[in-house]
Amino acid sequence: MRHQIRLLDQDLPGLVRELALACGRALGPRVGLALYRSLYRELRDVLKARVSAFRYCGSTCGCERALSPREGVIAFKHEAYPGERVRVYLTGAESPPDVLQRELGAAATRAVASVTPKTPHGLYPLLRGRIEECLRGRLFASTTCGELPVCSMNEPVDPWERRVSPAV
């Protein structure tokens, strides 16, 4: 089963920026720029390896109905979110949320250890907790992923592309 990361008016680099800032704030109010850059690079590398995007992904009612947990699903109802865009990214079947969060926590811990000379005790649970907070309400299981007719018409897109793609 695949999982969807659904972002409202935010792209994947923006999510990585938010994750890096949350991890940096967990370490203290005066985190240096070198630590932020290290966190950003490590978290980006994990998501680059685990997340993909397709042009029409998640844009059907069947995709939205199959998401779980149902509460907090960001839907494509344009009247509910006028002028904003919902972006959908997929994680593979080999990357359920617990594995993805574990890898992101380990990457953030490596980033902190590479920059700071003395790492605090209990760093991994602290960073993983912040990552879980950032992904809460954005990561959903998709039971029908790959089974709908629109899935066969999908073409891969680069999730790291900064330009806005044309409206579908």
Give tens-digit pLDDT for 16-69: 999 999 999 998 876 788 899 999 999 999 999 999 888 877 767 777 777 777
What token pair was written down for 13? 């680099």
Tell whether the model's pLDDT for residue 167 goes beyond 50. no
Nearest of 39, 135, 41, 125 to residue 96 by alpha carbon: 135
Distance between CA 105 and CA 103 in Å, rounded? 5
pLDDT of residue 155: 84
Residue 17: partners with Cβ closer than 8 Å, 6 or more residues away: 40
Nearest to 116 by CA among 42, 38, 22: 38
For the chain, the structural domain boundaries read 2-157
| Least trusted range by pLDDT, from 10-19, 23-32, 92-101 | 23-32
Q: How many CA atoms lie within 13 A of 21 on its CB side?
A: 7
